[in-house]
Amino acid sequence: MAEDKIDIKSLDYTQLQELLESMGEKKFRSKQLYEWIHKRLVLEFDEMTNLSKDMRKKLAGTCTIEGARIIKKQVSSDGTAKFLMRLSDGNTVESVLMKYKHGNSVCISTQVGCRMGCRFCASTVGGLIRSLKTSEMLDQIYEIQRTTGERVSNVILMGIGEPLDNYDNVVKFIRMLSDENGLNISQRNITLSTCGLVDRLKKLVDEKLTITIAISLHAPNDELRREMMPIANRYSINEIIDACRYYVDKTGRRITFEYSMVEGKNDSRECAMQLIELVRGLNCHINLIPLNPVEGRMGQRSKGADIQAFKLLLEKNHINVTIRREMGRDIDAACGQLRNKEKGGNYDEGIRKD
């Protein structure tokens, strides 16, 4: 049975060495094997031609190579491609490929569904089904490289799911993605976005990774944030800012705040002033995201003039701010939209209360 087999793509380099040793194989084979899986991105043991037939047979008998398979692709007029990927148990997630002058970025999902319940977000509809394995996160990138032939240089964890709600697998994924025996993507080119699970955030800082962290703030005070994001009932903005200071102090790196702009909700002059006070003195960057309205979910996008005024006020107060360049709007690029459509569009709230 496939379930009894070892998910070999989720094993890091050390674990792979241990596996081979336990099979009575030479240790140096692990470099070859790791490269077949994580550099050449093959999906069959039989393709590993520099390993003996006997070893390939043994591996196939005890292990599986998990794959995420593209079952749908939508290409936007700006070149952004969105993929619906099927996992081995039939669940689906989304990944997006964005082409920039400086290289290709892939946005991956970390869970099937999400239990954070943000009111404007499509991914949370239907709640959390399960977290992704390390192999399933890696293979979203591998599958895009395999099928498009495009080399991926940047990875963002901003698709479906809350990365810090799948902590161990996500940290392992980051380490394996930046392993020199694999795709060797620099941690500096990896961005993790979180709604702000404070305890996990502090733990993440202590992992001493050199990734960029982005916090989905979206509101400058707790009352408003609670209306938009149920997680705000658990952690206050002050706790989040404290964790951000911890990050900035420990790493010397700048933190990013995401602020999705919802018309008449969080786009007023007063909100801008509160936001300025909140981040004063913190080494940060604020990314304003015009809301991508999702049918049945909260809010409309702020007017262009209001977004510009908000930005100007922040700039006047010497805060680094940009308006996110929008890509793939014509292809349901807001996370979770494609998956929902495929499922027949079920817009129940789907928020777990725990």
Classify residue 249 as exposed, middle or buried by CB count within 10 Å of its CB (0-12, 13-18, 19+): exposed
Cβ-defined contacts of 320-326 (< 8 Å, 24+): 320/254, 320/284, 320/285, 320/286, 321/285, 321/286, 321/287, 321/288, 322/285, 322/286, 322/287, 322/288, 323/287, 323/288, 323/289, 323/290, 324/287, 324/288, 324/289, 324/290, 326/290
Q: Which stretch binds ligand SAH (CB under 6 A): 34-42, 96-104, 167-175, 284-292?
A: 284-292
Q: Which stretch binds ligand SAH (CB under 6 A): 76-84, 191-199, 271-279, 346-354?
A: 191-199
**Cα distance between residue 160 and residue 189, in whole Å:** 20
Among 16, 108, 152, 334, contact with ligand SAH (rule: CB under 6 A): 334
Q: Is 135 in the site for ligand SAH (CB under 6 A)?
A: no
For residue 190, state whether it binds ligand SAH (rule: CB under 6 A).
Answer: no
DSSP 125: T
Q: Would you say 116 or 152 has its CB closer to ligand SAH? A: 116
Comparing CA positions, the residue from 69, 10, 70 lying closest to residue 38 is 10
Give yes or no for residue 275 binding ligand SAH (CB under 6 A): no
Task: Please pick, from the candidates 13, 36, 120, 235, the single residue that binds ligand SAH as defined by CB under 6 A.
Answer: 120
What stretch of H or E contains 75?
strand 69-75
Distance of alpha carbon 155 from alpha carbon 285, whole angstroms: 19
Write out the H or E segment, with its range, that includes residue 140.
Answer: helix 134-148
Among positions 37, 81, 158, 255, the unique one binding ligand SAH when judged by CB under 6 A: 158
Is 258 a binding residue for ligand SAH by CB under 6 A? The answer is: yes
Q: Binder to ligand SAH among 55, 132, 213, 291 (CB under 6 A)?
A: 291
Is 335 among the residues known to form the active site? yes
How near is the Cβ of 195 to ligand SAH at its closest, in Å?
Answer: 4
Cβ closest to ligand SAH, residue 162 vs residue 306? 162
121 binds ligand SAH (CB under 6 A): yes
Annotated catalytic residue, options 25, 66, 94, 143: 94
> Would you count residue 194 as binding ligand SAH (CB under 6 A)?
yes
Shortest separation between residue 55's beta carbon and ligand SAH, angstroms: 40
Number of residues counted as binding ligand SAH (CB under 6 A): 18
| C-beta nearest to ligand SAH: residue | 216
**Residue 300-319 contact track with ligand SAH, rule CB under 6 A, x = bound:** --------------------
From candidates 92, 181, 193, 256, binder to ligand SAH by CB under 6 A: 193
Count of beta carbons in the 10 Å neighbourhood of residue 101: 4
Positive or negative: CA dihedral 22, 26, 28, 29: negative
Closer residue to ligand SAH in complex, CB, 67/328: 328
Task: Single out the segment in contact with ligand SAH by CB under 6 A; choices: 23-31, 114-122, 239-247, 249-257.
Answer: 114-122
Among 95, 105, 154, 216, binds ligand SAH (CB under 6 A): 216
By DSSP bridging, strand 63-64 and strand 69-75 are unpaired
In the bound state with ligand SAH, the residue whose beta carbon lies nearer, of 30 and 140, is 140
* Cα separation, 338 vs 343, whole angstroms: 9
Alpha-carbon gap, residue 193 to 299, rounded angstroms = 21
- 244 assigned to active site: no
Token pair recorded at residue 53: 């037939």
- Residue of 124, 291, 249 whose CA lies nearest to 195: 124
- Cα 333–334–340 angle (5° rounding)? 95
Residues noted as catalytic: 94, 335
| Residues near ligand SAH, by CB under 6 A | 116, 118, 120-121, 158, 162, 193-195, 216, 258, 260, 289, 291-292, 294, 334-335
